[in-house]
Amino acid sequence: MSDFAITFLGTGTSAGVPVIGCECAVCRSSDSRDKRFRTASLVETPEMVFAIDTPPDFRSQCLRAGLVRLDAVLYTHAHSDHVLGFDDLRRFCEMENKGMPIHASPSTMESLKRVFSYAFHDGPVAKTYIRPLPQEFDGPFVLGETRVVPVELPHGRYITNGFVFYRGERKVLAYYTDCHEVPPEAEAQAEGAEIFVLDALRPAQHSTHLTIEEAVEVAGRVRAKQTYFIHMCHEVSHAETQANLPPGIFLSYDTLRVEV
């Protein structure tokens, strides 16, 4: 039986797909794999359930997934398409009458506290309010029986955090979204993972994201057992793009669940 699973709650870039007011072939596509909420994922282990990012679509993602339990949240960075569903965490605090551990780098935590200042304060909090429990990381940390190793990735003028997840000695997942390159040390951290999730925005160059071609090159060096691209825009047709990817490399899509 699997002891680790990832579900892709959303696989799209900041505008989502379809894009407002767009009549391109992908935005008009009837293929459900071309419908992309903003990027987020859910990780399940026997002892914990945790999310990676809470985008503006987080409420809809949770309803679609039938999610009734959440034990923690990991944040890659504080851009709006990855954090603006933060307040939807309050329902999980209410259902289980508990605080929500929030794992983020010091800079990301500072941004969360600024944007959601109403949520971070001392004193009593109503049961129906969000109760964040800030957990800043500056190195590896543990969630249940999963060891998490943060990895810094360049994202334009910013640094995002990728995460490498271990179950015992198994490197079960390397999760690298929102980056325009993967430095050698980050490639080494991900090398040989059972699952590698990697940013792959579109075919054309972009200043803050990997292209499909660049992502394929990174995946070839990392040599994971399975690689899934994420954070695609409406220039990426699922069926057409998948048909041209090398063996072992796949486009993720909303609701896809992968177990190892």
pLDDT digits (tens, 9 = 90+) for 163-179: 999 999 999 999 999 99
Give 3-state DSSP helix, strand, coil % of the chain, rounded to 5: 25, 30, 45
Asked if pLDDT for residue 145 goes beyond 80, the answer is yes
pLDDT band with cut points at 50, 70 and 90 for residue 1: low
Q: What stretches of the chain adopt beta strand conformation (E)?
A: 5-10, 40-44, 49-52, 72-74, 100-104, 132-136, 141-143, 146-155, 158-167, 170-176, 195-199, 226-230, 249-251, 257-259
CATH class for the domain made up of 5-259: alpha beta
pLDDT band with cut points at 50, 70 and 90 for residue 2: confident
Q: How far apart are CA 91 and CA 59, in angstroms?
A: 10
Asked if pLDDT for residue 118 goes beyond 90, the answer is yes
Return the closest-CA partner of residue 161 out of 179, 143, 136: 179
- What average pLDDT does the segment 60-65 reach? 98
- pLDDT given for residue 169 in this prediction: 96
- What average pLDDT does the segment 59-71 reach? 98
- What average pLDDT does the segment 63-74 reach? 98
* 70-88 tens-digit pLDDT: 999 999 999 999 999 999 9
Asked if pLDDT for residue 24 goes beyond 90, the answer is yes
Return the closest-CA partner of residue 154 out of 181, 175, 174, 123: 181
Asked if pLDDT for residue 226 goes beyond 70, the answer is yes
* 186-224 tens-digit pLDDT: 999 999 999 999 999 999 999 999 999 999 999 999 999
With residue 189 as reference, give the H or E element that holds it. Answer: helix 184-190
- What average pLDDT does the segment 144-157 reach? 98
- Residue entry with tokens 């990012």: 53
Return the closest-CA partner of residue 229 out of 216, 217, 240, 246: 216
Calculate the average pLDDT of the chain.
97
What share of the chain in percent tops pLDDT 90?
96
The amino acid occupying position 81 is D
- pLDDT given for residue 125 in this prediction: 84
Query: What are the sequence ranges of the domains in the chain?
Result: 5-259
Burial letters 210-227, b for 16+ CB under 10 A, else e: bbbebbbebbeebebebb
Q: How far apart are CA 105 and CA 111, in angstroms?
A: 10
SS3 assignment, position 236: coil
Residue pair 34/59 in contact by the 8 Å Cβ criterion: no
Residue pair 34/17 in contact by the 8 Å Cβ criterion: yes
Residue predicted with more confidence, 2 or 36: 36
- pLDDT given for residue 22 in this prediction: 98
* R_g of the chain, CA atoms, integer Å: 17
